[in-house]
A and B are shown apart, each in its own frame.
Chain A
Amino acid sequence: EVQLEESGGGLVQPGRPLRLSCSTSGFTFSDHSMTWVRQAPGKGLEWVGLIRSQTYGGTAESAASVKGRITISRDESKSIAYLQINSLESEDTGVYYCSTSTSELPLAPLDVWGRGTMVTVSS
């Protein structure tokens, strides 16, 4: 069974950086892209970014709303994906989910999700 587990959330001061982790198991991590989605309190889902599998270059894409402030990376040896957000703003507050597709295709819907980790940006 494919499982994802996010960690690293918590209370962070504005302007500080934060790195979230997504630990995975139950599948061949290197064959799958990993996606980050966030949800502000009481709001809808917002796609944050993704990192492609090594097969497709291991490169990342990010939403315009966070471009330049985030870095998405992956550690193939540990089967972990990371989301680093710099210069945190109050608007970054929310639940951050990592997700993936059991398909190895580069364009595929997200059929596996973690439970999410809460990030609160406040002084």
Chain B
Amino acid sequence: AIRLTQSPSSLSASTGDRVTITCRASQGISSFLAWYQQKPGKAPKLLISATATLQPGVPSRFSGSASGTDYTLTISDLQSEDFATYYCQQYYTQVYSFGQGTTLDIK
């Protein structure tokens, strides 16, 4: 099974900050990487698919990129509604897997 190692596990930041979350895949996944946002008591919400494609309605301050097996979610100009937990997920094979999650909270 493909393992996704997400870092950091938690992150404190202030509104207006720029933050980066990294997800390292245990093998090549050919950009089949998605990012989700989850708020307490809610289902996850797909933010980015195929490494860098923003879903409709997702603000442009969210962006995704990759270098080799390292995938990155960047949030620029943090807003209050961005404080949540973020997960990466690979769908390169149909044995999917998620990263452990990164909780972003207010400093």
Chain A positions near chain B (C-beta within 8 angstroms):
33, 35, 37, 44-47, 50, 52, 61, 63-64, 97, 99, 106-111, 113-116
Contact = CB atoms under 8 A, between A and B. Distances in A.
B34 interface: yes
Contacts of B93: 107
B100 A110 contact: no
A78 to B, nearest CB: 22
Interface string B41-76: 001111001100001000000000000000000000
Contacts, number: 62
Contact of A45 (B46, B50, B91, B98): B98
B44 A45 contact: yes
Contact of B87 (A44, A52, A106, A107): A44
B54 to A, nearest CB: 12
B43 A97 contact: yes
Contact of A50 (B92, B96, B99): B96
A51 to B, nearest CB: 10
A9 to B, nearest CB: 14
